[in-house]
Structure 1
Amino acid sequence: MGFHDYQFRSDLALRHQAIGEARGEARGEARGEARGEARGEARGTARAVLKLCAARGVLVSDEVRERVLACEDMSVLDEWLTRAARSASAQEIFG
């Protein structure tokens, strides 16, 4: 029987095991929540980039649209958003 298979029996050990499991679960939930928020922010910014392009009459190819929607790097998305506000072509915005 390995260490991971050992079943604690004392109340003290069981209490500490439960505390450790609860802390690990809380950390995992917090990380998952943060990732979800970051993805949501990226999706919203990507949509804003595409809406701004459409509103300004900038034609965006399907390939570029997919690239924008797949992007999760907020610094890249923010740069595209700024360029979309100032530029007249997809080439100027997305390179």
Structure 2
Amino acid sequence: MAHGESEAAEAIGLAFLAAADELDEERRAVYGDLVLSSLNAAARRKLEAMMKSGYEFQSEFARSYVAKGVEKGREQGILEAKAHDVLAFLEARGLEVPVEVRERVLASTDLDELDRWIRRSAVITDARELLAATGS
């Protein structure tokens, strides 16, 4: 932490990633957050660039957080796709989609709810009924 703003910041980040394998998951998360938050912006950008460029992290710590990020991104993509499916289905049926309905659908983080809305959008006659049916 004392040298996170110095020229050694990048080396500190890499050293932590290499050493983190020896820690249990909870400590890796806490210490990792502490170390990374103490690094200067250039060092954080460098580590992020390494990750984006296809650099394969050597530590289990780094690989586990990359995997978590990938999974979270996949889940977010599924949510967004389903929300757009609901809206596209309503629009394809010629139903006007009010702003409040559009915003609520796009804000949903519940896959089951989105699935219900996809099915419901096939039978309703007004897009506002989509939200009324779920108590939203």
- Band of TM-score, shorter chain: 0.7 to 0.9
Q: CA deviation at 1:85?
A: 1.4
**5+ residue gaps in structure 2?**
1-17, 23-27, 29-58
Match of 1:43 among 69, 77, 80: 80
Structure having the higher Rg: 1
Taking the aligned partners of 2:70 and 2:131, their CA distance within structure 1 comes to 30
Q: CA deviation at 1:87?
A: 1.7
Match of 2:110 among 62, 73, 76: 73
> Does the CA-based 8 Å contact 2:98-2:128 persist in structure 1?
no
Instruction: Determine which structure has the larger helix proportion and give its number.
Output: 1
Question: Across the two proteins, how many residue pairs are aligned to each other?
Answer: 80
- Counterpart residue identity of residue 54, structure 1: E
Match of 1:34 among 59, 68, 71: 71
Taking the aligned partners of 1:72 and 1:18, their CA distance within structure 2 comes to 32
User: After the TM superposition, which residues 1-95 of structure 1 pair with which residues of structure 2 at under 5 Å, given as runs?
Assistant: 17=19, 19-20=21-22, 22-95=59-132
**5+ residue gaps in structure 1?**
1-15
Asked which structure has the greater RCO (Cα within 8 Å, sep 6+), the reply is: 1
What is the aligned-residue identity percentage? 35
Q: CA deviation at 1:28?
A: 0.5
TM-score normalised to structure 2 length: 0.54
Q: CA deviation at 1:31?
A: 0.7
> Secondary structure, in 3 states, of the residue corresponding to 1:86?
coil
Q: CA deviation at 1:64?
A: 1.1
Taking the aligned partners of 2:131 and 2:20, their CA distance within structure 1 comes to 51
Residues 28-61 of structure 1: per-residue CA shift (max 9 Å, x gap): 0111101100000110110110010001122211
Taking the aligned partners of 1:28 and 1:46, their CA distance within structure 2 comes to 27
